[in-house]
Amino acid sequence: MKKYLLVLGTVLVFFACTKDSEIRTINDNINHLNSVYVGDWNFKGNEISYTGYYVYDSLLNSTWVSDVNYTTNFNDSLGSVELGYNINELVFRYCEACKPVVYSLEDSGMVYSEKFGGFIGWTITDSTFYNVVNPGPPGYSTSYSTYNIEGWKLN
């Protein structure tokens, strides 16, 4: 009876260790695939604000007047991308003083949304990053603002 228990215990330990090591190997392979994004990056935040309106003269002739402002935040700032805690996460630091932002790779990709006005989302390759944070309106609007972040991998 003791022999059977010893053999059964050995077999259970063998299979438990094998499955754990297989899971670690799968996780390591996924992390290895995601490591192409890891490194120092240069990030640039761009904001565009647009306002337009008609100006009428005494003869009721109208002229369209528009004002467009471009603002760049953390221009040419040194940031980084690191592997996240979970295997499908990346941690972005847009600048040295910026708080880290965690992105799930499952959510990447540009998606058209009527609700949010155009394309939203983010894309990443081994050398470029683009994130539409606040898209423009879906149609004609007399005023709006958009904000996006661009990135280039440095190493």
In the prediction, which pLDDT does 3 show?
55
State the alpha helices, DSSP H only, in 35-146.
Answer: none
pLDDT band at 41 (very low <50, low <70, confident <90, very high): very high
Could you give the CA distance from residue 43 to residue 29 in angstroms, rounded to a whole number?
Answer: 28
For 80-139, the pLDDT digits (tens) are: 999 988 888 899 998 888 899 998 888 777 776 666 666 778 888 888 888 887 766 656
49: enclosing H helix or E strand: strand 39-56
Distance, in Å, from the CA atom of 104 to the CA atom of 92, rounded to the nearest integer, reads 11
Q: E strand or H helix at 9, and its extent? A: helix 2-34
Taking the complete model, does pTM exceed 0.85, yes or no? no
Q: What is the mean pLDDT of residues 58-72?
A: 84
- Residues present in the chain in total: 155
Q: Residue 51 is encoded by which pair of tokens?
A: 């306002």
Per-residue pLDDT averaged across 7-22, rounded?
A: 46
pLDDT at 7 over 80: no
Residues forming beta bridges with residue 119, ordered by sequence position: 112
Q: In whole numbers, what is the pLDDT of the chain averaged over residues?
A: 75
The predicted structure's pLDDT at residue 38:
92
| Domain ranges across the chain | 1-36, 38-153
* Phi, psi (rounded to 5 degrees) for 62: -115, 150
Question: Which range has the worst mean pLDDT, 12-16, 39-43, 76-80, 103-107?
Answer: 12-16
Structure tokens at 44: 């640039």
- Name all contacts of 62-65 with Cβ < 8 Å and 24+ positions apart: none
Rounded CA gap, 46 and 129, in Å? 13
